[in-house]
């Protein structure tokens, strides 16, 4: 199990296609990938 900081979530919606429903979660992917929690980018100082 894992968690994502909710400050990166910019919106939540529901998409309906006939009888099928899906949840749509909009995220600040650039902010998420650059965050310290992801550990993908070394900070330059």
- Let me know: does 21 contact 41? Beta carbons within 8 Å: no
Is residue 2 in some structural domain? Answer: yes
The CA-based angle 41-42-45, given to 5 degrees, is 135
Chain centroid to CA 30: how far? 9
Whether residue 1 is predicted with pLDDT greater than 80 in this model: the reply is: no
Is residue 28 in some structural domain? Answer: yes
pTM, two decimals, is: 0.61
Report the length, in residues, of the chain: 45
**Domain range for 5:** 1-39
Q: How confident is the model at residue 2 (pLDDT cuts 50, 70, 90)?
A: low
Is residue 44 in some structural domain? Answer: no
Question: What pLDDT score does 43 carry?
Answer: 58
Domain count within the chain = 1
Q: What is the pLDDT of residues 4-36, one digit of tens each?
A: 788 999 999 999 999 999 999 999 998 888 888
Structure tokens at 20: 């099928």
Is residue 14 in some structural domain? Answer: yes
Phi first, then psi: give them for residue 19, nearest 5 degrees.
-85, -10
């Amino acid at each position: 199990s894992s968690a994502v900081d909710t400050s990166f979530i910019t919106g939540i919606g529901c998409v309906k296609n006939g009888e099928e429903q899906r949840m749509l979660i909009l995220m600040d992917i650039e902010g998420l990938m650059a965050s310290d929690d992801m550990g993908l980018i070394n900070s330059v100082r």
